[in-house]
Amino acid sequence: MLQDQQILRIPGPSPIPPSVQRAMSQPMIGHRGQETSAMLQTISSKLKKVLGTSQDVLILTGSGTSGLEAAVVNIVQPNEEVLILISGAFGERFAKICDAYSIKTHQIDVEWGQAINPQDVKKYLKDHPEIKTVFSTYCETSTGILNPIKEISEAVHEASEALFVVDGVSCVGGVETKMDDWGIDVMVTGSQKAFMLPAGLAFIAVSEKAWNKIKTNSRPRFYFDLVKYKDNILKDTTPFTPALSLIFGLEQVLNLMEKEGLDLVYKRHQLMMNMTRAAFKALDIPLLTSDEFASPTVTAVQPNDFNSEDFRKVLKKQFGLTVAGGQQHLSGKIFRIGHMGYCSPADVLQTISAIEIGLNLVGRKTELGKGTAAAQKIYLEQGVIV
């Protein structure tokens, strides 16, 4: 097999654009100097657009999970109760973080592959006025669901005074996000998915209402204390040494997003989702999620007539193509295709056409070209650049 080729189609970490790779290999500079401050200033205004907020976007050096934990420890006061909306493994992560701090959690669980229903949230909050914060995932990476986050936010605010915290790690940058307009109080995301960077940065923005609570929150915290980040960003710096190579890369990522146009970035992700889904429908292979709540960044496929782990091995062996497996109880039962960040419609065509070969190799008789044709048709209908 051709050496050195990795076709990485997992739902993050995602491939890095060459110009971002080059940016990240710039020589180190002083993290307290003028150049770093100027860079943070440029980044700041562009990041706000991606998160859809006029608030400062705080940059933590850490994985996405560090951002989730920072949200919990800053927002939840001692002895408060919270509601966690769980549609998969990353909803559960919020619950695990709260457990670690012995925070009393309420949970709304839906079957994996289903989306959270805003009406259920509304009803639950009306019945439980003691809940002070609601946590939700936007895109649930483990299932490929895009929760109706705007509607959930409306439901939360209609039913209660609770703050609404959103994990947008696996979609922000690839799908439209209007934190302010939608009334989201804390938006958390990370660098390694639609942001086209390696893991290592978490981005957090906080509403006025949430800041008021954070400032008076007595819960112990140091590295994750968002007040420190806020105080520092006002001086174009960071409280702790930032992962500068990732910051170099972030600056270039935001340039690329601006050059393409954020609207077109979102349109491209929508298109890639539609191409991918059309292909599997044409091949008569079930998708885990409905069209209504499918994420533009990741598609979960639930085969009923071949073994998905054998299939994943075949793709890796034949083409160096990596797709993800399922997590927890869906392990071995689904596979997931990432189509986010540095991924194009042509990359989707490549993935689908390789997959058609892989299906035949695991003994799942599949008409060659059929899924590809369905994806091509979607491109001709929705994707053509005029």
Minimum CB separation from a second copy for residue 377, in Å? 6
Q: Scanning residues 339 to 368, which ones bind a second copy (CB under 8 A)?
A: 342-347, 349-350, 352-354, 356-357, 360-361, 367-368
* CA-based nearest residue to 179, from 169, 170, 168, 190: 168
By beta-carbon proximity to a second copy, the closer residue of 25 and 54 is 25
> CA–CA separation, 316 vs 63, rounded Å?
26
Q: Is 384 in the site for a second copy (CB under 8 A)?
A: yes
Q: Is 17 in the site for a second copy (CB under 8 A)?
A: yes
CB 272 within 8 A of CB 79: no
> CA–CA separation, 188 vs 202, rounded Å?
7
Give the DSSP H/E element, type plus range, for residue 283: none
Q: Is 262 in the site for a second copy (CB under 8 A)?
A: no
Minimum CB separation from a second copy for residue 76, in Å? 39
Q: Is 20 in the site for a second copy (CB under 8 A)?
A: yes
> CA–CA separation, 176 vs 226, rounded Å?
25
Q: Is 18 in the site for a second copy (CB under 8 A)?
A: yes
By beta-carbon proximity to a second copy, the closer residue of 156 and 194 is 194
In the list 29, 227, 256, 262, the residue contacting a second copy (rule: CB under 8 A) is 256
In the list 260, 284, 305, 381, the residue contacting a second copy (rule: CB under 8 A) is 260
Q: Scanning residues 114 to 173, which ones bind a second copy (CB under 8 A)?
A: none
CA distance to 126, 138, 224, 238, per residue, from 61 (Å): 37, 22, 10, 10
**Residues paired with residue 9 on neighbouring β-strands, in sequence order:** 323
DSSP class of residue 116 equals: P
Cβ neighbours of residue 331 closer than 8 Å, sequence gap 6 or more: 325
Residues forming the site for a second copy (CB under 8 A): 1-5, 7, 17-20, 25, 256, 259-260, 264, 268, 317-321, 342-347, 349-350, 352-354, 356-357, 360-361, 367-377, 379-380, 383-385
